Chains A and B, each alone.
Chain A
């Protein structure tokens, strides 16, 4: 039997994974949620038909969105994750014993429940006592905090649908306000490759650049995301993402990673020329 999951990466480009079986399909108040079992990528989570994570390559995304800011601020104690209801980002942060509290704010409790049940590889972290889940609009949550968090990680879906508020100037400005004086915000920053994605990415950078004194972009290779070339944003009030990284201290923590390492951290901020151009255009 030929059963395939297909996502349109553009109206003219399709990406397909052979599906062994569908484990879950449901509709929450906000979106349709599906979990598939596949031979090549293990379990796959999709929201409204867009691939969010696979068991095989989620480590790349989750390591890069967490260890980059954590190695710049290994002393961080209070972390806010906006989005990230699958639990992958929280799992990586939990590896730092010095972190005292993680607040995770996702609009959709059903995604978290589905991941707990079907994708424990990421979802299990949500039950850790240091993780405090708040199921509400991230934009609403952040408004009420000031000078409170060391690091904010914006682990959002795409800039359309339920996650669109997390790509706005008002959101980034409120993140700035919620961070302490030396705070860092890292965000999922879309892809520079296809035109539509590149436009969203440029707009997001423009807004972050206007909201933070330090704003840089870094990249990773994520096989199941459109084009595979994915970006993250590093915005900070004080620390430079490379010069202020405390790699000696980080290495002493003995955190074993599969993708991230200090050399790659520094290199990830070196962008291809075409990406530099998109970014410079709005700086």
Chain B
């Protein structure tokens, strides 16, 4: 058999062959290559429906890969510098959950920064792990949480020698990286695993102009959202492990919650995107960097706005910065990032990734064109001309140190729960999530104390138009707390 190279895309090739054979489908899915659902086929296209198929011998099986999926995973592992890769079809949420469920059992401690994605805390509800939060440093002006300082990580490790793992955002939603190499060294010296949430870090693996990728830094596991900067379909993701983690055990963990009908649309998109990144990643990322650098300089020339970059690096909590991230500080024109985000969408037909209370994030990647960037820059210039107002009286963002009273699982599954009007919940232990979405980082997690400061933040964010998600009461007039 011919040796596979990065030029191959085994899942794509198998699907092409399957189409040529014109197999008569007496299996699921019931739309039978689209014939049974004309409206959907007209909408998505015949080509797409023809490969929405079930696992079969020539196409392998995601739950137990032995042929083309296994080959595709091997190629992905080689491309990303890991011992093994898992193709994931439940989003990077499923990759993150698999990492935590692999290393933590009930009662095990895990050290992590507070600005983790909700999927991390959800995983702790599932497995009963206990979070040891590290205060991610705050940039007071920008109002964003940063990376973890090495002193804080070291102290947390010393204070919790029984912790099983350290989880690192590499990078944060805003493109900020901690010193992952030192964290790996310290954690390993203390027999702890290092897990990396690389939902926003796919491109790190393919450029030497970007921060260090987790697997290259020696991390044990990394959850990588290929569908973000890698170009694959929404909901597809990859999980990487090194040779210290058992491949078979991780697959068992994944199969606890993963579908047995893995989508070939998603898997082929991972396969094709891996090939594209392996073959042309460097060049693609160079062009993204050029486009973002151009935009940053144009936006900073408009006045007031601040599109920040590597000048923020401080060697500790901002150990490195992902220069493909276009984060723009907007409070200097008197508008919250979320307000600029809304104006861009409603008035200018421009959809950005998110706005928080002080910043706007435009996601720039593989598919962006210079002319679209001109639109964004011009619209920002217009928004400043038309809407600029006094910026005093806007809330200074501060890190709210969570007071963890109970492990998330204990609080979430408590028998002693009641629903209180939001403002009456002060001093109680919350049993559910409240988060500002996006970016989906918790303001309150199950097991944490509701404080006045937390409520003030919730009211302000709501007033500015942020979507508050998580609680049972979707309007967040009531909050579930321990009785």
Contacts and interface: CB of A to CB of B under 8 A. Distances in A.
Interface of A: 137, 139-140, 142-143, 162, 164-165, 168-171, 173-174, 177
Interface stretch (B137-145, B374-382, B422-430): B374-382
B385 A168 contact: no
A170 B378 contact: yes
Contacts of A139: 371, 374-375, 378
Contact of B382 (A140, A162, A164, A174): A174
Contact of A165 (B298, B347, B371): B371
Given A137-B374, A139-B374, A165-B378, 8 more contacts: A139-B375, A143-B298, A164-B371, A168-B349, A168-B378, A169-B347, A170-B375, A170-B378
Interface string B356-379: 000000000000001100110111
Contacts of A168: 348-349, 375, 378-379
A171 B375 CA distance: 8
B371 A170 contact: no
A26 B160 CA distance: 68
Nearest to B344: A170
B386 interface: yes
Contact of A143 (B347, B349, B370, B381): B381
Nearest to B378: A170
B386 A165 contact: no
The 10 closest A-B pairs by CB, nearest first: A170-B379, A170-B378, A173-B382, A139-B374, A140-B374, A137-B374, A170-B382, A139-B378, A169-B348, A143-B378
A169 B347 CA distance: 7
A184 B224 CA distance: 52
A6 B90 CA distance: 48
B370 A169 contact: no
A173 B298 CA distance: 17
Q: Is the interface of A mostly helix, strand, loop or mixed?
A: helix
Given A169-B347, A170-B382, A173-B382, A143 B377 contact: yes
B382 A165 contact: no
B378 A174 contact: yes
Given A173-B385, A177-B385, A137 B370 contact: yes
Interface residues of B, number: 15
Nearest to A142: B378
Contacts, number: 48
Interface of B: 298, 347-349, 370-371, 374-375, 377-379, 381-382, 385-386
A183 to B, nearest CB: 15
Contacts of B377: 140, 143
7 contacts: A137-B370, A143-B378, A164-B371, A165-B371, A168-B378, A173-B385, A177-B385
Contacts of B386: 173
Nearest to B350: A170
A137 B371 contact: yes
Nearest to A139: B374
A143 B374 CA distance: 9
Given A137-B374, A140-B374, A162-B371, A169 B385 contact: no
A197 B318 CA distance: 50
A164 B374 CA distance: 11
A169 B379 contact: yes
Nearest to A107: B371
Nearest to A164: B371
B382 A169 contact: yes
A168 B378 CA distance: 10
Contact of B381 (A164, A165, A174): A174
Contacts of B381: 143, 170, 174
Given A170-B348, A170-B379, A165 B374 contact: yes
A139 B382 CA distance: 12
Given A137-B370, A170-B348, A165 B375 contact: yes
Contacts of A170: 348, 375, 378-379, 381-382
A142 B371 CA distance: 14
Contacts of B375: 139, 165, 168, 170
Nearest to A140: B374
Contacts of B349: 168-169
A171 B374 CA distance: 10
A198 to B, nearest CB: 18
Residue from A142, A143, A170 with most neighbouring chain B CB atoms (10 Å): A170
Contacts of A142: 378
A21 to B, nearest CB: 33
Contacts of A143: 298, 377-378, 381
B262 to A, nearest CB: 37
A165 B386 CA distance: 19
A137 B349 CA distance: 19
Contacts of B378: 139-140, 142-143, 165, 168, 170-171, 173-174
A206 to B, nearest CB: 11
Nearest to A146: B385
Contacts of B374: 137, 139-140, 165
Residue from B298, B370, B381 with most neighbouring chain A CB atoms (10 Å): B381
A48 to B, nearest CB: 15
Contacts of A162: 371
A137 B378 CA distance: 11
A27 B386 CA distance: 39
A185 to B, nearest CB: 15
Nearest to B377: A143
Residue from B349, B371, B377 with most neighbouring chain A CB atoms (10 Å): B371
A144 to B, nearest CB: 9
